Amino acid sequence: MIIKPRVRGFICLTAHPTGCAAHVQEQIDHVRSKGAIENGPRNVLVVGASTGYGLASRITAAFGSGARTMGVFYERPPKEGKCATAGWYNSAAFHRAASAESLYARSFNGDAFSDEMKATVVEAIKEDLGQIDLVVYSLASPRRQHPRTGEVHKSVLKPIGEHYSARTLDTDRSEVSEVKIEPATEREIQDTVTVMGGEDWELWMEALNGAGLLAPNATSVAYDYIGPEVTWPIYTNGTIGRAKVDLRAAGQRISELLKANAGGNAFISVNKALVTQASSAIPVVPLYISILYRIMKEKGTHEGTIEQIQRLFATYLYNNEVPKLDDKGLIRIDDLEMEPEVQEEVNEIWPQVTSENLREITDFAGYQEDFLKLFGFGLSGVDYDQEVDPMVSLDG
């Protein structure tokens, strides 16, 4: 079948297997171009391994350090005449590339929040790897069925305490408009924390530790975002921000658990604003990213997902580096984004953007290109008019 992008809001309903493979290969090539990461991880578990920062982490560990990797994700496989999700095709491409390099790779497709998945992965680690020295937690989901109560919790993107009104970007229509969002209820706040906070990360680490599967000096890292004040009402000070506070608190408890296990540690890495399936859903953020991309590309400081994670591994976590932390104990690889000069230019451009000059004074074109790449579209060297078989197995 010939697969073309079908975009609805912040999601693309189709994904291109050949394009996704090309996107994965681009990331592998970048990691290789930077050279080997010394004293890197050997046995790695990535929870949320199929897209975005989780996929980049798996690629960096495998092709930068020669690590054996396990990945957990929840993706839709292909059906006859219907393509799979991008994460499925990404993971299949990763498996093929790892196999070509004789790198161990094993993946589990299912509900990472469930006790059953944790038990399955624990047994697989016992069988195949023995112990894990790096756990990456990069799970992003709009809903979670709690493993203890069976209750389904759904996250919301809302401010807390008062109504929120701000400029935003309708990416479907390429229109700058005003968005108005009512404040979250207490139940919505708690549900968002339950879905996107740190409880599940902590449950994973407790399961691994309880089974004796954490290696001496094991590391765990989860990903966060803070951003500039223009995004704070809907992000940092909103429901997502409340969940991130919970994530950081869990990180501190996990650090104590790992330190007791022969000197390990847990870190929260605050990453740059980038086009991901998660960030595309947040009001205001697409407009901010479009402005930010223009500024950082002009300065030569722009990084994509794989550049961020390769730099995290190579200059913070490994290569004999001691992680540099801010006054709150966070790794800040959003440092280039948050440079005062960059943010001053964002604030200067922000009120000037209209639907008419959007493409002239921002990099909305770059935003759209990166968005389509998430689903395997717009990759050089891929013939999108050619028939392609969507029936790709996870093992290639």
Q: Check 137, 164, 235, 288 and give the catalytic one.
A: 235
235 counts as catalytic: yes
SS (H, E, C) the chain: CCCCCCEECCEECCCCHHHHHHHHHHHHHHHHHCCCCCCCCCEEEEECCCCHHHHHHHHHHHHHHCCEEEEEECCCCCECCECCCHHHHHHHHHHHHHHHCCCCEEEEECCCCCHHHHHHHHHHHHHHCCCEEEEEECCCCCEEECCCCCCEEECCCCCCCCCEEEEEEECCCCEEEEEEECCCCHHHHHHHHHHHCCHHHHHHHHHHHHCCCEEEEEEEEEEECCCCHHHCCCCCCCHHHHHHHHHHHHHHHHHHHHHHCCCCEEEEEECCCCCCCCHHHCCCHHHHHHHHHHHHHHHCCCCCHHHHHHHHHHHHHCCCCCCCCCCCCCEECCCCCCCHHHHHHHHHHHHHCCCCCHHHHCCHHHHHHHHHHCCCCCCCCCCCCCCCCCCCCCCC
Active-site residue list: 235
